[in-house]
Structure 1
Amino acid sequence: SSGSGEEAPRDRRARILSRGLPRQKPIEGVKQVVVVASGKGGVGKSTTAVNIALALAANDSTKEVGLLDADVYGPSIPKMMNLKGSPELTPRNLMRPLKNYGIACMSMGFLIEETAPVVWRGLMVMSAIEKLLRQVDWGQLDYLVIDMPPGTGDVQLSVSQNIPIAGAVIISTPQDVALLDARKGAEMFRKVHVPVLGLVQNMSVFQCPKCKHETHIFGADGVRDLAKTLGLDILG
């Protein structure tokens, strides 16, 4: 029989596991963080992240908006935001974001050659993400939009556990394969207690440039059906 001073195995296991989890710590100067994610690559996630950042800034000119490219292996924000060059360092040794269209941007693409591949193991990627989160002088931001890499791996987990996130937006195309992974993405965010703000259906219609006829080349309502199943909103 166990004495009152002994710990139940389940409690002990929970205590050991919680020791390994980093405590959420806000990014200095940043009020709200919105992550843009997708289960699959090539569904228009980065394009949507850029559009969300630009829309937030255009919607209210008093709001300061930042955009963080957390896709270490395939950074595309520099190209999409028409930015080149390396960030300057502040006296506090923090990287100063590059700015265009009124949006402060930070990406691994600013720190490596444009054509150089990032051939890193997981630990190096996690270290890079930590630097992009903590060693950037964002100033005062109302919103920081984070463009996540595709999938449900280390980066998604690390970002979700490291910083408080206001919500996640999940992008998918209407094909069955993309929807399967979008569903996994939504479930992952629920498991790490990040609210899913809703789903965005992308690439649902092709319009013929000559006759303007519209064709649903990837299917019409895949994301809408998934949203209904998961009890989520369709944002676009």
Structure 2
Amino acid sequence: MTTEVTSLVKEQILPSEYELKEPEPEHCPGPESEMAGKADACDGCANKEICESLPKGPDPDIPLITENLSGIKHKILVLSGKGGVGKSTFTSMLSWALSADEDLQVGAMDLDICGPSLPHMLGCVDEVIHESNFGWSPVYVADNLATMSIQFMLPEDDSAIIWRGSKKNALIKKFLKDVDWDELDYLIIDTPPGTSDEHISVNKFMNESGIDGALVVTTPQEVALLDVRKEIDFCRKAGINILGLVENMSGFVCPGCKHESQIFKPTTGGGEALCKELGINFLGSVPLDPRIGKCCDSGQSFLDEYPDSPASLAVLNVVEALRDAVNDV
């Protein structure tokens, strides 16, 4: 990790004079809003003077983000309101699958700021990023697969990111504005669970550059589908096109006998029934294979290591369906 990048993470993401004293109150208009410091929610807020002093009006970085991302053909968000459904795992497998085509250039951006895991899953956790005249250089996993994550900037692997929304948003903006992705066919953006800071920010910052849509990930059980419904509602309210939904961990495949059994029982019909109900493309189901976790832990491509696994075949089918959905946008 270069000294320059370390300095940016520690000091320049949000200048100290603009750091918020307390978490934003309910109904906060946001520090960058023209109503910052003036709305009803600002009365009595410890951040009021700070928010009033922040620059107002159109964000001057939006045109820079749009220009920086202009060489990227397709931009896909990987979303799910539920944690633990395998968003990062699926993002890594999707990245491996797309980059298997040597004619494609693929980027994977890790926006899970508090729990970055893509570098580990892609086998590049010990790499560093560098700053040049063109911006921050992403880490290349292969000749045609690059990734960017805050994990590369941490002083230690176990260092916690204890940031409020403003700092998170500022880092997302730098990832979009300052990372030199060059020409890409696909940029896959892995997001944390929920529908809050990271999701709102990436949609706002990329509005002019264009997002092809979202790939929504779920598992079969109703407790996951409840949160996924909220994510779908968020996408519709935010104007994000939903490319389709994939049901992950759909059954368990024994590596020895190939028998498949249900681990998470789809008590209400699972992801496919949800798609029929809400009018969303169902991209397919991916069974749980314990070797997927093993490959993610070791930073290997599961698709390359176990090409005959039913899970590998299912992932490739989902990828083909996703590419068709992107081309139809």
CA drift at 1:130: 0.9
Q: Percent identity?
A: 43
1:51 corresponds to 2:97:
no
Partner of 2:299: none
Aligned residues: 218
1:194–1:224 distance in 2 versus 1, CA, 3 Å = same
Q: Which has the higher helix share?
A: 2
- How far apart, in 1, do the equivalents of 2:183 and 2:237 lie? 30
1:1-236 superposed matches below 5 A: 26=66, 27-58=69-100, 60-83=101-124, 84-92=126-134, 94-101=135-142, 102-112=144-154, 113-163=156-206, 164-208=210-254, 212-220=258-266, 221-236=269-284
Secondary structure at the counterpart of residue 89 of structure 1: strand
Partner of 1:10: none
CA drift at 1:206: 1.8
- How far apart, in 1, do the equivalents of 2:255 and 2:58 lie? 52
- How far apart, in 2, do the equivalents of 1:104 and 1:38 lie? 23
Secondary structure at the counterpart of residue 250 of structure 2: coil
Secondary structure at the counterpart of residue 275 of structure 2: helix
Any conservation in 2 of the 1:36–1:168 contact (CA below 8 Å)?
Answer: yes
TM-score by length of 1: 0.85
1:177–1:96 distance in 2 versus 1, CA, 3 Å = same
Q: Counterpart amino acid of 2:168? A: V
Q: Counterpart amino acid of 2:91? A: A
Q: Counterpart amino acid of 2:231? A: G
Q: Counterpart amino acid of 2:167? A: M
Q: Counterpart amino acid of 2:88? A: S
CA drift at 1:105: 0.4
TM-score by length of 2: 0.62
Any conservation in 2 of the 1:97–1:104 contact (CA below 8 Å)?
Answer: yes
CA drift at 1:85: 2.3
- How far apart, in 1, do the equivalents of 2:89 and 2:141 lie? 15
Any conservation in 2 of the 1:161–1:192 contact (CA below 8 Å)?
Answer: no
- Which stretches in structure 2 are left out of the alignment for 5+ residues? 1-33, 36-55, 285-329
CA drift at 1:57: 2.1
Partner of 1:12: none
CA drift at 1:50: 1.4
CA drift at 1:143: 1.1
Superposed structure 1 runs of 4+ greater than 6 Å apart: none
- How far apart, in 1, do the equivalents of 2:254 and 2:102 lie? 37
Deviations 1:93-149 (A, max 9, x none): x11000113311000111112110111111111111111111101111111100011
CA drift at 1:32: 1.6
Deviations 1:177-206 (A, max 9, x none): 110111111111111111100101011212
Deviations 1:2-22 (A, max 9, x none): xxxxxxxxxxxxxx79x9786
CA drift at 1:209: 5.4
- How far apart, in 2, do the equivalents of 1:213 and 1:85 lie? 39
- How far apart, in 2, do the equivalents of 1:39 and 1:139 lie? 31
- How far apart, in 2, do the equivalents of 1:89 and 1:189 lie? 34
Q: Counterpart amino acid of 1:79? A: H
Larger deviation, residues 44-53 vs 67-76: 44-53
Larger deviation, residues 212-221 vs 142-151: 212-221
Partner of 2:309: none
Deviations 1:201-235 (A, max 9, x none): 01121234565542212124411111111111111
Secondary structure at the counterpart of residue 133 of structure 2: coil
Q: Counterpart amino acid of 2:277? A: T
